[in-house]
Amino acid sequence: MKNGNKKTCEKILLKSFKGIQKSSLKSYKKILKIGLINSASVFRITELKQKKRKKKSSVKEIPTFILNNFERISWSLKSILIYSKKQNANNFYKKLKQEIIINSKNKGNAVDKKTDLHKQILPKKRLLLYFRW
């Protein structure tokens, strides 16, 4: 929601939920829940800049856990919205509907991004030592 357009945001959500409900036998709530779970990532990469030493500054990419479930859900919602904006369709609610359905089938762009992120983090397991509990 940008610039306080709450009504338009609600209209888009309701239209996409109605479209999901018409196209599938399951309820839209279950499909949305499955899509969010499939696109939710456990890790996030944070960048730490090292202090300057003789004109050399490097950036370390350190994997961190996303411990809070609310944060995990918000990250997955953001990724679904980002990839639904990139699709080619006439109306945004159609794009959002398609992206949610595809993510619930574990085949969407957000799911691919999550798996790529996890593949990047596996070689950097030793950097999890820097994680602050």
CATH number at residue 54: 1.10.455.10
User: Residue 48: what are its φ and ψ, rounded to 5°?
Assistant: -110, 125
From CA 11, how far away is CA 9, in angstroms rounded? 5
- Classify residue 106: in a domain, yes or no: yes
**Per-residue pLDDT, 82:** 87
pTM of the model: 0.75
- Classify residue 17: in a domain, yes or no: no
- Classify residue 26: in a domain, yes or no: no
- Classify residue 116: in a domain, yes or no: yes
- Classify residue 80: in a domain, yes or no: yes
Q: Provide the domain count of the chain.
A: 1
From CA 12, how far away is CA 104, in angstroms rounded? 19
What is the chain's pLDDT, residue by residue, as a tens digit (133 residues)? 567 678 888 888 899 999 999 998 999 999 999 999 998 888 888 777 776 666 666 777 777 788 888 999 998 888 888 888 887 767 888 888 999 999 999 998 888 888 888 888 877 777 666 655 5
Q: Are 72 and 80 in contact (CB under 8 A)?
A: no
**Per-residue pLDDT, 5:** 79
DSSP state of 62: E
- Classify residue 130: in a domain, yes or no: no
DSSP state of 51: P
Q: Which range marks the domain in which residue 89 is found?
A: 31-125
